[in-house]
Each structure stands twice: as C-alpha cells, then as structure tokens.
A and B are shown apart, each in its own frame.
Chain A
Amino acid sequence: SQQGEEDPQALSIQEGENATMNCSYKTSINNLQWYRQNSGRGLVHLILIRSNEREKHSGRLRVTLDTSKKSSSLLITASRAADTASYFCATDSTSGTYKYIFGTGTRLKVLA
C-alpha cells in the first residue's frame, strides 16, 4: 500500500489564488519530499523537509510537516497557469533503506 496519500485528488483554482494540498503517511520517516509532474513528463523535485523541521519555504512554495499527525502540506501561493501539474509527496523510512514511497498525487489545474 502507498506510504503517502495526497488530498485532495484533484484541485481546480483561479490564477492568483493559493493552492493547498496535503499528504498523510503511515510510518516514521527521516524526510519528506514534494515532486511535480507535468503531463507526460518525469517528476521534478520541488522541496525536501526533514523530520526535525516543521516548516520550509522555497519561492512561492511553503511546506509544513507534523510528525505527530504524520502529515504534510504543500502551499503554492499566487498560483500561475504554469503551476498546472500533478504533485506528489514521497517519504523514506527510518529503516535505513535508500528507497522512497510515493503517494497517489494531487492534480492541480490553475485556470487563467
């Protein structure tokens, strides 16, 4: 089963609005990452947050992590049509392996 589950599955907003998507996971992690996938393309890394961090910013992106609730959120501020994509969270585990588990993704559509 998937380690990460994103919510909502799909989101449609107007350009300029903020977009928030959430990720829940099941086991203890070392870090959590968010990736973006444009239609028909590979995934592109956006931001990584470590388990001892609560919030991180990168440009218009803001990520929070609540390890007690095993959840993370990605906020995209002042969205643009170019932000239209699918967004995935990926978690590792504390078991020491080198692999990540990806969630099912949130499909974001930003309307111009």
Chain B
Amino acid sequence: NAGVTQTPKFQVLKTGQSMTLQCAQDMNHNSMYWYRQDPGMGLRLIYYSASEGTTDKGEVPNGYNVSRLNKREFSLRLESAAPSQTSVYFCASKTGLAVNTQYFGPGTRLTVL
C-alpha cells in the first residue's frame, strides 16, 4: 500500500514552460486535492475533485488546470509557468465522506526561473 504518490519530486522550469504534476492514490478514495505551500505559509487549495468526473476550484486556481483521469489519478498542469508558481505542491486524498482525514503525498518541489 503506497498511499499517495507524486511525481516528480523535484522540477526546475523556465518561465513559460509547461509541465504536469502527477498524483496517484491506491486507497480507493473518492476525493483528491492539490495544494501549494509557500515558505512560512500553510497550504492553499488549488483545485479539488470531490469524486471521479468532477473538479472544482479552490482558493488559488489561476494558472493551473487539473484532470481527474480516473479514481486513482489526479494531475495538475501548469500551462505557462511563472516565477510566482515556485512552490512545493502537495496532493492529498480522502474517502469523500464529510468527516475524515486527508492523506498527503510527499510533495513536488517546483522552481520556476
């Protein structure tokens, strides 16, 4: 049981480049989330997917797109990276019921030059 996995672990991009962050969970969870964490800050929600086939914007969705590929996988795409998107990105999942915990991946550290 790997839990929540994220790839890549590290990435350096130039301004304007695009990339996709991958996330997968093997816990049969319905809901999946993408957060960003900036230095000294808490996590801010970018997008979430309450269940397979649905996605919704969080607090800071601008500059990002997501795809809930299937129940296991939820990807985050940066179409044209900007230095302001330099951050650590975390994926999380939970069963989807209203009251339960989120399980987090190890994070992807992204630097945009």
Measured CB to CB, the residues of A under 8 A from B are 2, 4, 30-31, 33, 40-45, 48, 50, 88, 90, 92, 96-105
Whether B58 and A99, one on each chain, are in contact in the complex, defined by CB atoms closer than 8 angstroms, is: yes
Provide the residues of chain B in CB contact with A100, threshold 8 Å.
45, 102
Which residue, of A4, A41, A50, A92, has the highest number of chain B Cβ atoms within 10 A? Answer: A41
B22 to chain A, nearest CB (A): 15
Whether A42 and B105, one on each chain, are in contact in the complex, defined by CB atoms closer than 8 angstroms, is: yes
Whether B48 and A31, one on each chain, are in contact in the complex, defined by CB atoms closer than 8 angstroms, is: no
Provide the residues of chain B in CB contact with A99, threshold 8 Å.
33, 45, 48, 56, 58
Closest chain A residue, CB of each to CB of B45: A99
Which stretch, B13-21, B36-44, B66-74, B78-86, touches the partner chain A? B36-44
Provide the residues of chain B in CB contact with A45, threshold 8 Å.
101-103
Whether B43 and A88, one on each chain, are in contact in the complex, defined by CB atoms closer than 8 angstroms, is: yes
Provide the residues of chain B in CB contact with A98, threshold 8 Å.
31, 48, 50, 94, 96, 98
Given A99-B33, A101-B59, 12 more contacts at CB 8 Å? A2-B42, A31-B99, A41-B106, A43-B92, A44-B104, A90-B102, A92-B98, A98-B98, A100-B45, A102-B35, A102-B43, A105-B42
